[in-house]
Structure 1
């Protein structure tokens, strides 16, 4: 289902960004509800979402 893939892509990317920059970004929660505190690299997030919609990994 597209909605589930999008949720997974968003959560995974935000958690990846938080792991790479723990001093700048904290992400807690699941695919149902997230708490995001800090700076998000929007360009990377958009790229991951576009790839998910296009059928990428």
Structure 2
């Protein structure tokens, strides 16, 4: 489903951002919830979501 692809893209991108800058962003994913503490690169997140919707890997 589209929602699953978008959700996966969001989590994957935020995990990537947190790994790249652990002092700037921490995330925790549990079941249907995601908790983010810090700065999020919205352009990177938007690109990941658009890629998921467009069918990019």
Q: Give your verdict on TM over 0.5.
A: yes
Count of aligned residue pairs for this structure pair: 57
Retained in 2: the 8 A contact 1:10–1:48?
A: yes
Using the size of structure 1 for normalisation, the TM-score is: 0.94
TM-score in terms of structure 2 length = 0.94
The unaligned stretches of length 5 or more in structure 1 are none
What secondary structure is seen at the aligned counterpart in 1 of 2:28?
strand
Q: Flag the 1:48–1:31 CA change in 2: closer, same or farther, 3 A.
A: farther
What is the aligned-residue RMSD (CA, Å)?
Answer: 1.0
Q: Which runs of 5 or more residues in structure 2 are unaligned?
A: none
Kindly indicate whether the alpha-carbon contact (under 8 Å) linking 1:11 and 1:30 is maintained by their aligned counterparts in 2: no
**1:20-39 residue pairs with structure 2 within 5 A?**
20-30=20-30, 32-39=32-39
